[in-house]
Amino acid sequence: MHRAARTASVAIALATAFAVTACGSSAGDEVAADKKQTLTVWAMGAEGEKLAEVAEKYEKANPNITVKVTPVGWDVAHQKLVSAAAAGKLPDVAQMGGSYLGEFAELGVLEPVDTKTFDKKDFFPAGWQQGEVDGTSYGVPWYVDTRVLYYRTDLAKKAGVGKPPADWKGLRDMASALRDKGDGKWGIYLQPRGLDTVQSFYPFLYSAGGEIVDGDGKAAFDSPATVKALKEYGAYMKDGLSMKSSQPGYDPLKDFNTGDVPMFFSGPWISTLIKDQYPGLKGKWGVAPVPADKTSTSMAGGSSLVISKDSPHKAAAKEFIQHLTDTKGQADWFERTSDLPANTKAWESGELADNPDLQVFKKQMETAKTSPALAKWTEVTSKVDAAIESVTQGKASAEDAAEKAQSEIENLVK
Amino acid sequence: MSTTSGKAAAPVAGARGGGPGTAPSPATGSEDGREGPDGRRREHGRGRKRGLGVQNWAGWLFSTPFLVLFTVFMAFPIVATLAMSFTDFGLRNVTRPWEANFIGFENYTKLFGDEKFLTALFNTGYFVVIGVPLTLFLGLLVAVLLNNGIDRARTFFRVGFYAPVVTSIVAVAVVWRFVLDPSDGLIAGLCAELGLTAPDFLGSETLAMPSLIAMAVWRNLGTVMVLFIAGLQAIPTEVREAAKLDGAGAWQELRRITVPLLRPTLLYATVITTIGYLNVFEEPFVMTQGGPSDSTLTVSLNMYREGFNFFHMGYASAMAYVLFVVIMGITVLQLRLLKDNTK
């Protein structure tokens, strides 16, 4: 009976395997770029909706191509992409967040980028790196983002702080001044715990010179730099400068508007949100580079465009991606979405060159660090989240937290 | 369906959709109706040849859509999950499942040394032990009150108590977050009026779980209430009148007539509420993500994370089966304890 059950389970696993591969190996013949064909494209969130407009224009210039854009919600994107990959039904072109690329490269469903067509030198280094897995590039950077410091200029003035902080000490002093002499309850918002706390922690970690995983793919969390960053981060909660707990999905914007939270770190999309939702804040806020420790280094994120390995329309897909990532296409995209261009040449004219706030992002982007594209990255960051939480909640010392996370990460990256 | 021997539970179970009672009936119904009580036995024996006639052929034809759907969406995943739980199925196996290794009971033995899983198991137990009695007691209370007391606004209250059941969890979450928000929520506002500071319900390791239990009780009260109302209305008025003639007061009527006659409903309500709470996922998923410090991490949420965030499919499948065994064990125990007491 025992053996029968075992045989049965193996048989079923095999049956599943065959069923899945049967679907997976449906790659057809390649179609040349100038033939009549339909390109399927998946894009997430706001990008998905705007991309349809661009696609329409593209179709007019290239009448042989029909571009079918499917917007996918960010909340279901990952699941949808994985099941599509398993079934061999990935679209010809897909947008992928930096954190997905390691996984999908591991799945072996992505076509390597043609480096003759797409030149590494044209893009921000961090943008390019997020598509690189073990030295091979799988994604062309589409847009980038990085985190900078948002602060209320009017409240800073009231608290007697003229300039944005340049270093860690300056940031802590400013947070105290804003809390004590401004109207705010807090000095700054730093995510205290929960999912993706790590995103809020990166500016501290990277500026101190720390890393989660080093260039060789080995765990490197247990370093003096990490401990220093953890201590600094935890000090904000300990001193009551930042809240010790916040609900999942907490958005500091509302409290930024009231002045309760006069500073926080976030990405470029927040500028658009402030303009749209709180027009009353006009002229009362600014952005500043990440306060420095050893350096002023922020995290880099963004999205890349990938081509499915099974796609029969690779040639046309490549041309479409080229259209989206060249200088003109990127400037056009910025106008539509305010997404920051990954192509550095697109920054040389128009608002991108003139707007001082955007220059803060550009400068920060030049040195920003990207997280390595590892298949188990989400699991790794969940350990870091837990380490940060144990420090901000006063449950462990920075040293112990770093050591514990290090041993857990070691088991995951090897 | 509503004629089934006055048991109030049956029609409601059907209405709930996907409840445990609904699945088997379409499959067996067509055979049983035709062949009488011993029809099934005949099929296994010599009667089989005769059974291939038009009658059985039609039966199978009509149940085919169900059987196909059942096989594809129920039976196959159940068996595949069991098979998967003995392998190290991970991310790369999504496209290359044949590379998964058979590892025997390793996933299962690993589970009981996994701090997160044990925490989740404890939290789920906590949720059930507090949540189930509360839901049942309050549900019964509301049902009795609605059945006896208020005459005029009965429909209004019935709808009011049932509304949370049919409301989407996302909408519910928005409301409850507002209620519990420590800085400008409803409770915080009331506390401020009284000069008190509201606790940070969802941010506190001791209060987060009770808050979620309160939310779940509020959300499931309606289901239980409807069951009990149906059960109460199935009690013949003659019995009540007879009891009154014999001089029974309200309390005695409740104890000697209502509760014993309600026992089948009570059993059913207990079992489905317990199963539902052992599977609790939505509340922690939308409200706390299992935090703070894993204090609201439940088995289902942990399973979801291991499976879909980290792609430890084999490991998550093992968790699913442990949960299944726990649920089955508790259900059998409940059926034993509650069923035969009347006889």
Instruction: Give B 269-308 residues with CB within 8 A of chain A.
Output: 287-289, 291-293, 308
Cα→Cα distances A345→A126, A131, A326, A367, Å:
15, 19, 9, 17
CA atoms within 13 A of residue A232's CA, in its CB half-sphere: 27
The nearest alpha carbon in chain A to B297 belongs to: A194
| pLDDT of res. B150 | 65
Instruction: Encode pLDDT of A199-244 as tens digits.
Output: 999 999 999 999 999 988 899 999 999 999 999 999 999 999 999 9
Percent of chain A with pLDDT strictly greater than 70: 93
Indicate yes or no: CB of A109 within 8 angstroms of CB of B95. yes
Give chain B's largest Cα–Cα span. 83
Q: How far apart are CA A173 and CA A162, in angstroms?
A: 12
pTM of the predicted protein model: 0.79
CB-nearest to B310 from A246, A248, A379 is A379
CA atoms within 13 A of residue A58's CA, in its CB half-sphere: 25
Is the pLDDT at B8 greater than 50, yes or no?
A: no
Q: What angle do CA A116, A117, A122 make, to 5 degrees?
A: 100
A365-391: average pLDDT: 91
* Residue B52: pLDDT band with limits 50, 70, 90: low
Indicate yes or no: CB of A86 within 8 angstroms of CB of B94. yes
Q: How far apart are CA B180 and CA A246, in angstroms?
A: 12
Burial classification of residue B201, based on how many CB atoms lie within 10 Å of its CB (0-12 exposed, 13-18 middle, 19 or more buried)? buried
Indicate yes or no: CB of A195 within 8 angstroms of CB of B289. yes
Q: Which of A26-40, B106-120, B193-207 has the lowest mean pLDDT?
A: A26-40
| pLDDT of res. A16 | 52
Interface test with A, best of B88, B91, B95 (most A CBs within 10 A): B95
* Residue B53: pLDDT band with limits 50, 70, 90: low
Give me the phi and psi of A13, to 5 degrees please: -60, -40
**Greater pLDDT, A31 or B79:** B79
CA atoms within 13 A of residue A364's CA, in its CB half-sphere: 32
* Highest averaged pLDDT of the listed ranges B116-125, B153-162, B245-254: B116-125
Contacts of B95 in chain A (CB under 8 A): 20, 24, 85-86, 88, 107-109
Q: Which of A4-13, B55-64, B111-120, B212-221 has the lowest mean pLDDT?
A: A4-13
Is residue A385 within 8 A of residue A194, CB to CB? The reply is yes
Q: What are the respective helix, strand and coil percentages of chain A, to the nearest 5?
A: 50, 15, 35
Is the pLDDT at A4 greater than 80, yes or no?
A: no
Q: Which residues in B28-53 are b (16+ Cβ under 10 Å) and which e? A: eebbeeebeeeeeeeeeeeeeeebee
User: How close does chain A come to B272, measured CA to CA in Å?
Assistant: 30
A314-332: average pLDDT: 93
Is the pLDDT at B21 greater than 70, yes or no?
A: no
Is the pLDDT at B87 greater than 60, yes or no?
A: yes
Burial classification of residue B175, based on how many CB atoms lie within 10 Å of its CB (0-12 exposed, 13-18 middle, 19 or more buried)? middle
Query: Is B83's Cβ below 8 Å from some Cβ in A?
Result: yes
Is the pLDDT at B148 greater than 90, yes or no?
A: no
Please identify which residue in the block is written with the tokens 């449906």.
A26
| pLDDT of res. B49 | 52
Q: How far apart are CA A150 and CA A164, in angstroms?
A: 10
Instruction: Encode pLDDT of A137-172 as tens digits.
Output: 999 999 999 999 999 999 999 988 888 999 999 999
A190-207: average pLDDT: 93
Q: How far apart are CA A98 and CA B139, in angstroms?
A: 49
Single-letter amino acid code for the residue at B172:
V
Please provide the CATH number assigned to the domain covering A148-297+374-411.
3.40.190.10
Q: Is A37-146+300-370's fold the same as A148-297+374-411's?
A: yes
| pLDDT of res. A140 | 94
| pLDDT of res. B23 | 39
Is the pLDDT at B54 greater than 80, yes or no?
A: no
**Greater pLDDT, A135 or A293:** A293
Is residue B85 within 8 A of residue B303, CB to CB? The reply is no
| pLDDT of res. A122 | 92
Q: How far apart are CA B24 and CA B2, in angstroms?
A: 17
Handedness of CA B26, B28, B31, B33 (dihedral sign): negative
* Residue A194: pLDDT band with limits 50, 70, 90: confident
DSSP code at position A292: B
DSSP code at position A73: -
Q: Which of A292-301, A310-319, B27-36, B283-292 has the lowest mean pLDDT?
A: B27-36
Query: Is A106's Cβ below 8 Å from some Cβ in B?
Result: yes
Is the pLDDT at B342 greater than 70, yes or no?
A: no
Helix, strand or coil, per DSSP, at residue B225: helix
Single-letter amino acid code for the residue at B235:
I
- Over its C-alpha atoms, chain A yields an Rg (Å, rounded) of 23
Indicate yes or no: CB of B97 within 8 angstroms of CB of A12. no
CB-nearest to A247 from B83, B95, B177 is B177
How would you classify the pairing of strands A263-266 and A148-152?
antiparallel
A238-253: average pLDDT: 88
* Residue B16: pLDDT band with limits 50, 70, 90: very low
A41-61: average pLDDT: 90
CATH 3.40.190.10 fits A37-146+300-370, yes or no: yes
Structural domains in chain B, CATH included, are 123-288 (1.10.3720.10)
CB-nearest to B91 from A12, A246, A375 is A375
Instruction: Encode pLDDT of A71-105 as tens digits.
Output: 998 888 888 898 898 888 899 999 998 788 888 98
Number of residue pairs across A and B with CB atoms under 8 Å?
91
Domain ranges of chain A: 37-146+300-370, 148-297+374-411
Interface test with A, best of B102, B179, B197, B311 (most A CBs within 10 A): B311
How would you classify the pairing of strands A299-307 and A369-370?
parallel
